[in-house]
């Protein structure tokens, strides 16, 4: 399809598409004449993902470009490609890990991962910004007077495990490779806010079930 049709199909303006092309968030089309290029379904998919990252995920262009670079790294297997892309997603700011609060927090994280049997996550440990983010969050909560133990985290982690299993099941129907990694990143970015909204609605429903409307 031509640029105009890509714009129509995606609902993204031609000016914005040209901006994404300049910023290398979208690969160039296949040149057919000196002034025209041809785009395909892969461009449309990529365009949607870029918009999701920027508009829903609130990511800066540089972050989105880094995530895409990992998605496109065909030298890696699915685990590493998806892992690298996920690690490049924005994380809460990290606190230093060597103070006493962080040591305690790290112990709780280790206990939690052992209980869950998430051995691969333990092996990767500090290399993962997501692991570091969990340690930092627990240290922060501890400092705020809300200590959270591994035992308290466990039920939440179990629910998230069910969601991860469901997310991975969905991916199995897609063509292997880039399309799977794109879909996994989109699922992370798009469902994060939905999950928190559903959590609040669930609490409304459960409170009313237990205590009535008053």
Minimum distance of a copy of itself from residue 59's CB (angstroms) = 14
Cβ-count burial 183-203 (b if 16+ within 10 Å, e if not): bbbbbbbeeeeeeeeeeeeee
Asked if residue 148 binds a copy of itself (CB under 8 A), the reply is: yes
Binding-residue pattern over the window 63 to 82 for a copy of itself, x denoting contact by CB under 8 A:
-------------xxxxx-x
In sequence order, which residues have a C-beta less than 8 Å from that of residue 44 and are 6 or more positions away?
Answer: 6, 9, 10
Which residues within the stretch 83-102 sit at the binding site for a copy of itself (CB under 8 A)?
A: 83, 86, 89, 92
Residue 146 within binding range of a copy of itself, rule CB under 8 A: yes
Binding mask 19-38 vs a copy of itself (x if CB under 8 A, - otherwise)? --------------------
User: How far is the C-alpha of 83 from the C-alpha of 185, rounded, in Å?
Assistant: 10
Binding a copy of itself (rule: CB under 8 A), the pick from 23, 130, 151, 177 is 130
- What span, in angstroms and rounded, lies between the C-alpha atoms of 4 and 6? 5
**Closer to a copy of itself by Cβ: residue 58 or 60:** 58
* Closer CB to a copy of itself, 1 or 76, in the complex: 76
Residue 18 CB, nearest approach to a copy of itself (Å)? 19
**How many whole angstroms separate alpha carbon 14 and alpha carbon 163?**
37
Q: For residues 50 and 61, what is the distance between their CA atoms, to the nearest angstrom? A: 9
């Amino acid at each position: 399809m031509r640029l105009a049709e890509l714009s129509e199909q995606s609902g993204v303006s031609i000016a914005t598409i040209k901006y994404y092309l300049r910023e290398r968030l979208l690969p160039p089309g296949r040149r057919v004449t000196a002034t025209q290029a041809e785009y395909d379904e892969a461009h449309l998919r990529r365009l949607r993902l870029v918009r999701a990252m920027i508009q829903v995920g609130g990511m800066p262009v540089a972050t989105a470009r880094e995530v895409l670079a990992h998605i496109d790294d065909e030298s890696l297997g699915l685990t590493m490609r998806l892992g690298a892309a996920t690690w490049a997603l924005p994380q809460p700011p990290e606190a230093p890990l060597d103070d006493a609060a962080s040591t305690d927090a790290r112990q709780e994280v280790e206990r939690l991962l052992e209980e869950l049997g998430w051995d691969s996550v333990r092996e990767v440990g500090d290399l993962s910004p997501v692991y570091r983010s969990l340690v930092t969050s627990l240290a922060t909560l501890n400092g705020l007077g809300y200590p959270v133990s591994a035992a308290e985290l466990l039920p939440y982690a179990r629910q998230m495990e069910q969601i991860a299993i469901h997310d991975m099941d969905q991916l199995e129907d897609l063509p292997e490779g880039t399309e799977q990694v794109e879909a996994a990143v989109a699922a992370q970015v798009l469902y994060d806010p939905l999950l928190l909204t559903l959590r609040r609605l669930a609490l409304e429903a459960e409170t009313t079930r237990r205590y009535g409307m008053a």
